[in-house]
């Protein structure tokens, strides 16, 4: 049974409501994909916090206005947590506003940083948490570095 806004892991009780909702979404997606609950919960919580800190205000508002995680699941919609992203490596790529961190097949970046160093630090943290790969690109689009976790 998927977690809901009324029935969720106790470790999520002190999260802000919208962060908790996102964490529930991501954790449900991870469990659906075969992750152990004990591993899914802390990863989902960290990813939800990161999303909240880096998402545009309009995106957060739009997400807050959507139905609860269980309702969306029942409607047959894919979780916004995009479980397929959990299996993808992280890329650091040049962006018009600095350097972007994004999953390898994502269309939009998860976060944009002013410096490449900040972006690499965050991408490395995400890749380690997910147990995937980090790929850092040069300004010209060629690969500068790759690391598996």
Give dist(CA 137, CA 106) in Å, integer: 15
The DSSP result for 42-61, as a single string, is HHHHHHHHHHHHHS-HHHHH
Q: How confident is the model at residue 15 (pLDDT cuts 50, 70, 90)?
A: very high
| Residue 123 tokens, joined | 């991408």
Identify which of 93, 140, 125 has the alpha carbon closest to the alpha carbon of residue 112: 93
Tell whether the model's pLDDT for residue 92 goes beyond 80: yes
- The DSSP bridge pattern shows strands 133-137 and 90-95 to be parallel
Q: How confident is the model at residue 69 (pLDDT cuts 50, 70, 90)?
A: low
Question: Treating both helix axes as pointing N-terminal to C-terminal, what angle do 17-32 and 57-65 enclose, rounded to 10 degrees?
Answer: 70
Strand partners, 20: none
pLDDT for 17 equals: 92
Distances (CA, A) of 56 to 46, 64, 109, 120, 121: 18, 12, 12, 21, 21
Residue-averaged pLDDT of the chain: 83
pTM score of the predicted model? 0.49
């Amino acid at each position: 049974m998927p977690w809901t806004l009324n029935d969720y892991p106790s470790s999520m009780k002190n999260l802000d409501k919208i962060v908790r909702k996102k964490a529930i979404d991501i954790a449900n997606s991870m469990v659906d994909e075969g992750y152990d609950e004990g591993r899914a919960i802390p990863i989902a919580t960290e990813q939800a916090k990161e999303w909240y800190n880096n998402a545009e205000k309009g995106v957060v508002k739009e997400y807050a206005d959507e139905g609860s995680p269980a309702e969306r699941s029942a409607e047959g919609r894919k979780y916004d947590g995009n479980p397929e992203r959990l299996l993808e490596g992280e890329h650091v790529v040049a962006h018009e506003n600095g350097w972007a961190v994004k999953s390898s097949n994502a269309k939009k970046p998860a976060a944009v940083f002013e410096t490449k160093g900040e972006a690499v630090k965050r991408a490395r943290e995400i890749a380690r948490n997910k147990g995937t790969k980090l790929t850092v690109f040069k300004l010209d689009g060629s690969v500068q570095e790759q690391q598996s976790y």
